Structure 1
Amino acid sequence: MRIVLAAIGRLKKGPERDLAERYRERAGQIGRGLGVTACDVAEIIESRARRAPDRCAEEATALLAVLPEGAALIAYDERGRANLSSDEIAARVAGWRDAGKPALAIVIGGADGLDSRIRERADLTLSFGAATLPHAIVRILALEQVYRSLTILAGHPYHRGDPAGLSGS
């Protein structure tokens, strides 16, 4: 299974980009033993359309174009579930992997959010809560959750949650 995080916008050089890259590299390393062949990031240029709905539509077209065929899709959107535990996310990733999904795509929209085409295509829509977060922070958090999910599946001690994944927290 290949993991691809597709995000609107580019992270500039600096600590946010460095931290995102660190989690991406760690996910790739630990994922090898779990059947993960790669953990890649695709940065999509922000739309310059005048109206927000047009920007979202253009960005959705670009995002959908980079998603691997047959991929399971997690979309980060303000309307998504904010209470899914890391253990539950890891179980979903394992389920998709074990079902033979060739890839897991994770999508982060631009400043105007995600077009309905992305939300409708998503297998899982998540949120980091009601607060508005900077785009760079959302990317870091999404990559950290990828890494955390893979450490859970590998039995690595990074995650100190419920080892049986039964508490739902």
Structure 2
Amino acid sequence: MKIAIHAVGRLKSGPERDLADRYLDRAAKSGRALGITAVTVREIGESRAARPDARKDEEAAELLSALPDGALVIALDERGEAPSSDDFARLIGEARDRSVPAVVLLIGGPDGHGAAALDRAGRRISFGRMTWPHQIVRILAAEQVYRALTILGGHPYHRA
């Protein structure tokens, strides 16, 4: 199974990218023993459409354009459920055990997700009710993917 983060916006070189990349690299290395063949990020640019709804629709179409067939899509959305790290790990483990080919986390733009992205998502999860900049959400998503894989692998990184 593959895990991917599809995100609106590009992380520039610097500490945010370095930290996100560090967690993604750790996740890729930890995941191999668990049947995770890749952990990747796909960045798309923000839409320049004038209206928020048009921007969200354009970004949703682009986020969804490269989904692997049969992927479990998880939209990161402030109105989604707020699972624990153990719950998130269980979700990834169950997808792997059902031979789902990929789990894809979607990070929307500043206006949120378009209807197509939310409709396609099998799950909507939130990192809390606060609003986060996408750079931080990218780091949080990468860290939670890494944490989930360490939980599944019985590694002591997660100390709940």
TM-score range, shorter chain: over 0.9
Alignment partners' CA distance in 1, 2:118 and 2:157: 31
Alignment partners' CA distance in 2, 1:130 and 1:71: 26
Q: Is the 8 A contact 1:6 1:66 kept in 2?
A: no
State the shift of 1:63 in Å: 0.4
Cα offsets for 1:40-86 (capped at 9, x unmatched): 1000011000000000000011000122111111110111112x111
Tell me which residue corresponds to 1:159: 158
Alignment partners' CA distance in 1, 2:20 and 2:67: 20
Q: Is the 8 A contact 2:44 2:63 kept in 1?
A: yes
State the shift of 1:152 in Å: 0.2
Alignment partners' CA distance in 2, 1:124 and 1:22: 26
Tell me which residue corresponds to 2:49: 49
Alignment partners' CA distance in 2, 1:130 and 1:101: 29
Q: Is the 8 A contact 2:2 2:103 kept in 1?
A: yes
Tell me which residue corresponds to 1:104: 103
Tell me which residue corresponds to 1:10: 10
Tell me which residue corresponds to 2:135: 136
Q: Percent identity?
A: 57
Alignment partners' CA distance in 1, 2:41 and 2:6: 6
Q: What value does the CA root-mean-square deviation take over the aligned residues?
A: 0.7
State the shift of 1:110 in Å: 0.2
Q: Is the 8 A contact 2:56 2:113 kept in 1?
A: yes
SS at match of 2:132: coil
Q: Normalising by structure 1, report the TM-score.
A: 0.93
Tell me which residue corresponds to 1:164: none
Q: Is the 8 A contact 1:4 1:67 kept in 2?
A: no
Alignment partners' CA distance in 1, 2:122 and 2:35: 20
Q: Are 2:13 and 1:21 equivalent residues in the alignment?
A: no
2:75 aligned partner, one-letter code: A
State the shift of 1:124 in Å: 1.4
Unaligned runs of 5+ in 1: 162-169
Q: Is the 8 A contact 2:61 2:117 kept in 1?
A: no
Q: State the 4+ residue runs in structure 1 displaced beyond 4 angstroms.
A: none
2:56 aligned partner, one-letter code: C
SS at match of 1:143: helix
Q: Normalising by structure 2, report the TM-score.
A: 0.98
Unaligned runs of 5+ in 2: none
Alignment partners' CA distance in 2, 1:130 and 1:3: 25
Tell me which residue corresponds to 1:88: 87
